[in-house]
Structure 1
Amino acid sequence: MDDRSKHDHTDWDAVVLAARERARSRQALMVERFGLSGDVQYDWSMDNAQITWSRNGRVFLTGRLTVIGSISVTQQTWLWSWANESLPHAALGDIEQVRQFGEENDYPVLPWPGFNSHPELVAEARMVAASVLDAEGLWAESMDDAQLHFMVHDLVLTADRQ
């Protein structure tokens, strides 16, 4: 028997608010600290769960990626990465902890494999996931019919930094 309380919207709202503030400040710090604006190019791979940033063809920053989930643009649905069997294992990182956090705290959106991709709900899910896994930043990429959403971790400046 499951004796846990029903989902508490007030508690969820507080978790989301704290995660949103944390994500905004960390994102701004990441962009400012590492100079990720202007003429910066990037390359990423789910196969090795890595992202690199370069300027003038020289890599200056590397990081580890964790896929949070994806949106099907035509179907308007969200799918958590932990529920997506087509993703490389390396790209999942510790995303399973986000699902477990949702189960332990009765936050339904986190352990649901997927849901209708209402923009606010997707934003909340992304930011709470980033908070649970202590991400340094968030990243998104649109391609064909999908939007991929990532967390960025373990940023390291390379020796080639200009």
Structure 2
Amino acid sequence: MKPYWYPAWREEAIEQLNVKNDRLEREFHLGHWSRYDYDITTGRLLFSEDGATKVIAGIQIAGSTSAKADNWLWAWANSNLPDDVLSDTKLVRTFGEMNGIDELAQPYVTDDEVEVLGWELTAVAVRICDALGAYRPPRGEGGALFLILKSVNWAG
């Protein structure tokens, strides 16, 4: 279930995320640093090169995908995550409940193209929470973790 306006609104969210991520790429070179590390307990994502931290981002977790199950799991529904990195997705769930948007209010969303789905739902979260952008760290287990970027700054 979803309201008539949601598909166009969701498409706008995807376009907005692309613009935001392009700006972060230009300004902070995200995706081009030789190393990244994230710490969900501190809510930080660090980009480094030659052992030196170059960029520090404050994060929330949007959710994760599973290629094996072809699904997305919202971070708010993942009991393994600390509450400190879930406030944005809790807002997404509330938005979904208030507007009758099932894919935002239910824990799992299934789709054959789960990687695309992950980016699309993260875009929706970024729009609802007025975040700066999003990042998906590489992951080798057949799924991915999607992060909402709340702040991005040069280190030092």
Specify the TM-score bucket, using the shorter chain as the normaliser.
Answer: 0.7 to 0.9
Shift of 1:128: 0.6
Q: Which residue of 1 aligns with 2:126?
A: 130
Match of 2:2 in 1: 7
Which runs of 5 or more residues in structure 2 are unaligned? Answer: none
Other-structure match for 1:96: 90
Q: Which deviations, in whole Å up to 9, do the C-alpha atoms of 1:78-136 show, x marking residues without a partner?
A: 11110111112222132200001111122111001112134344333221111111221
State the structure with more CA Rg: 1
8 Å CA contact retained: 1:71, 1:117: no
Query: Equivalents in 1 of 2:31, 2:96: separation in Å?
Result: 34
Which has the larger displacement, 77-86 or 32-41?
A: 32-41
Give the C-alpha shift of residue 71 in structure 1: 1.6
Q: Which consecutive unaligned segments of at least 5 residues does structure 1 have?
A: 1-5
Q: Distance in 1 between matches of 2:41 and 2:31?
A: 26
Query: Cα distance 1:84–1:39, how it changes in 2: closer, same or farther (>3 A)?
Result: closer
Q: TM-score, normalised by structure 2?
A: 0.87
CA RMSD, 1 decimal: 1.9
Instruction: Give the deviation of 1:14 after TM superposition.
Output: 1.6
What is the aligned partner in structure 2 of residue 3 from structure 1? none
Instruction: Report how many aligned residue pairs link the two structures.
Output: 153
Look up the match of 2:41. 47
| TM-score (ref. length: structure 1) | 0.84
1:73-92 equivalences in 2 (<5 Å): 73-92=67-86
> In the alignment, is residue 114 of structure 1 matched against residue 108 of structure 2?
yes
Shift of 1:44: 0.8
Encode CA deviations 1:134-154: one digit per residue, 9 max, x unaligned: 221211132424321111111
| AA at the equivalent of 1:7 | K
* Maintained 8 Å contact 1:23/1:127: yes
Check whether the contact 2:88–2:125 (CA below 8 A) recurs between aligned residues.
no
